[in-house]
Amino acid sequence: MNTISLLAEVSAQQPGGLQGLLISFGPFILIIVVMYFLLFRSQQKKNKERQLMLNSVTAGDKILTAGGLIGTVAKIEEKSILLKVAENVKLEISRTAISAVLEKCTIQGNN
């Protein structure tokens, strides 16, 4: 009787096998899952929003470049944009150099 109760106490104190492995690595797995949602998912969301912004740029929009130039989009090409920064001054910049769209061009139709 004593031996049975002693074996029951020892087995209750030390979980073995898969259960013990899950208990010891559980916090690490939880940290990895939290890091995924906080870092990687939010970065993917920001990249998606940036790509949508770059794709939605149209002629006439006022934009800010990564270098700090502010100008109006004169012409859009596949990989670059012609940016009008002053009268008779146009610069060709890469689409990826756009930091933000400051004002969207609104075309109003005749009613």
Alpha-carbon separation of residue 56 from 42, 81, 87 (angstroms): 21, 13, 25
Q: What is the pairing mode between strands 98-103 and 89-94?
A: unpaired
Separation between Cα atoms, residue 81 and residue 77, nearest integer Å: 6
Query: Of 2.30.30.100, 2.30.30.40, 1.10.10.10, 3.40.50.1860, which CATH number belongs to 58-103?
Result: 2.30.30.100
In this prediction the pTM is 0.61
Q: Where are the domains of the chain?
A: 16-55, 58-103
In the structure encoding, which two tokens stand for residue 108, read together? 């109003």
Q: Any idea which residue has 């005749």 for tokens?
A: 110
Q: From first to last of its 111 residues, what are the pLDDT tens digits of the chain? A: 555 555 455 555 555 667 777 788 888 888 998 888 888 888 899 999 999 999 999 999 999 999 999 999 999 998 999 999 999 999 999 999 999 999 887 764 444
Looking at the DSSP bridge assignments, the partners of residue 73 are 83
Q: Which residues have a Cβ under 8 Å from the Cβ of 23 and sit 6 or more positions away?
A: 15
Give dist(CA 96, CA 80) in Å, integer: 8
Count of Cβ atoms closer than 10 Å to residue 54 Cβ: 13
